[in-house]
Amino acid sequence: MIARAPLVAGVELGGTKCIAVLARGRSIEQRAQWPTGDDPAATFGSIAEWLDAAAREESFTALGIASFGPLRVDPAAEDYGCIVNTPKPGWSGANVLAGIAGRFTGPVALDTDVAGAALAEGRWGAATGCATHVYLTIGTGIGGGIVIDGKPHHGTFHPEMGHVRVRRAVGDRFAGVCPIHGDCLEGLASGPAIAARAGRPADTLAPSDAVWSLVANEIADLMASMILMLAPHRIVIGGGVGAGQPGLLGLIHSATAQVLGAYLPGHDHASLEKLIVRPALGHDAGVYGAVALAMEALDSHAI
């Protein structure tokens, strides 16, 4: 008889909604969803109560939490597990780890939602078999996770790819919408930035609209920088803008090839089409990211 995969719990905490699941590997067995309100304690309470009730039916063996950030992910930090300096009202300083996992005594893993999505795409999706890969989401904001040899990359903090500075097109005077940096990548190429440039939402723009070439060129600067610094085997681009706009990925391939200028062997336009791809897990990449984190916690606990 083949043994069933262990039951784990995953929580994806997003800026507008949160999702909790029980899963065995990629098979999700139970799922619940709540709005992420302005009161962290109330949000955490709803999630914890659901997890408690689910555990009374069958105990889960590990818990993974994939949260929006900025998030303190260094276990040695005094505010480990806390959200820091977020524009979301009421959430700066909220202790995600204690709020959700406080009553659970088993293995727990916490990381950003994009790092979790990167893990999930590496385990089950578009980056399967890749030792070094990146997941980038482009939507309301821009963020990314880096996985190296199966582990999310952290240093003093987690990667904040959305706030890198990129080259501007000659004559482009759009100030950008980032409240901190103005014209960082998020300030130029996120959904709100595109809407501010064009005067209407990104999902109403035709694929031929000139704004897409500007956005593709700005994203291509980040693509080229990551390729030159990380030499990744795969870059997965998700999010409502990144994966939802017809034609954008092709523009990014062309623009990235231009930025690289044929400097690197094996990185021509055709190769970039295989290197920079859409997610295989779609909108559930974050949920599966939380499950992947739980499985990582269980594996580490067993060593």
**CATH topology for the 126-279 domain:** Nucleotidyltransferase; domain 5 (3.30.420)
How many residues can be counted in the chain? 303
Low-confidence stretches of the chain (pLDDT beneath 50): none
- The span from the first CA to the last CA of the chain, in angstroms, equals 25
* pTM of this structure: 0.93
Cα torsion angle, 285, 58, 298, 17, sign: positive
Domain locations along the chain: 8-113+283-302, 126-279
pLDDT of 262: 85
Task: Report pLDDT for 86.
Answer: 82
Query: Residue 215: which residues within 8 A CB-CB, separation 6 or more?
Result: 188, 189, 194, 241, 248, 251
Residue at token pair 């959305």: 162
Measured distance CA(186)–CA(5) in Å, rounded: 39
Distance (Å, rounded) from C-alpha 159 to C-alpha 136?
11
The pLDDT score that the predictor gives to residue 159 is 87
**Under 8 Å between Cβ of 64 and 294:** yes
Q: Are 253 and 269 in contact (CB under 8 A)?
A: yes
Rounded to the nearest 10 degrees, how much is the dihedral formed by the CA atoms of 30, 34, 40, 41?
A: -60
- The pLDDT assigned to 303 comes to 55
Q: Do domains 8-113+283-302 and 126-279 have the same CATH topology?
A: yes
CATH topology of domain 8-113+283-302: Nucleotidyltransferase; domain 5 (3.30.420)
